[in-house]
Structure 1
Amino acid sequence: MKKNKKAIIFSVLTIVLIFVGKYVYDMNINHNFETITAGKVYKSGVIPPDEIESYVKKYHIKSIVDLRMPGTNDLVLNPEKMGELQAEREAVSKIDGVNYFSNPSEQVPNEKNIQVFTKIMDDKANYPVLIHCYHGTGRAEMYSALYRIEYENFTNEQARSGVRTLIKWSSFDDGKPKGEYLKAYKSRKQLAEEKQ
């Protein structure tokens, strides 16, 4: 019986260490960088200014869409500070041929955010695009889903399911503001069809 208990404790600790290691890697080494559509759209959390150029070169990124919104006093979801945005803007300005777009957004976009975002994404010269927020797990995923709905003809549910490995109990779950927003979102194509 003691061997079974030790095996269970060891197994649980191993699983916890794997998840902690993955979290540390994603947040601090990989910056939650992920391919949304190869050669077109990528998403991430904040990439330190001295590392941005390496990502730009590796993925041939031509535009960075920064969704951070400083000054909200939300230290969990929006812990960014204005100086961090300025440091990124300066780092990007030193890289030839890369555009920096600021589109400050809450966790759930408003109509102005959508207009700015679609204007950027409508311009083929802006691709490949990196969409990022602070953590890379909220706003960046939201806008990645919106990109898929608007430009890749994903259904709302396909796009919502594509943002997380596990939707249940996440901020994109049923009944949560981000989940409900994505379920109800209407693309420009849908809106145009409704007017006919």
Structure 2
Amino acid sequence: MQIESKRTIATISRDELCHHLNIHRSSLKGVATHFSLEPQFERRYSWRQILRSIHDTNGALLKQHYEKLLNQHPDCAELKEIGDLEKRLKEPLCSFPEMATALGYKPDTMRRALHEGRLKLPFPEIALGKRMRRYRSFEVEFWCQTGLQLDLPEAPKFVVPETKEQPPSRAHRNRTANAFFGTFERKK
């Protein structure tokens, strides 16, 4: 007997996740490992986990946050056009060159200005790995139109207590070194 869930869990396939993250399929394994993403349902990834791990936001609080933004900026037509924040977060991310072009910069010029500290981005960067920076395209577009930041609610952080490991004893280090290099004993 199979029990049907009243709520369906929104999931996406590997290819859909690659499209969302704007990455090649060969990069997915490294990104998934970095963010502790694992397929959960028939090789599909949960949107809640993607929102929490990659976007660093709590999907359950997005509706309340959007209403709060509407109350803070009642005259902003662009904000009213967003509608559903969760739906907009599911749009594909944009790369650094795409983001720089949207802001009116050449990618190399913007990269240099950011590196030298002459420029600071008004929206978060999603670092998927070394040299893989992505941005929420709707957030870039929204900032270009209004100059407002969305400041999405953060995902809860779970703190794992650290255990202090004892450094290896001198005898252990010597045994390890002797096993690797051999011993230098005098012949009698």
Mark the structure with the bigger radius of gyration.
2
Quickly name the TM-score band, shorter chain normalised. under 0.3
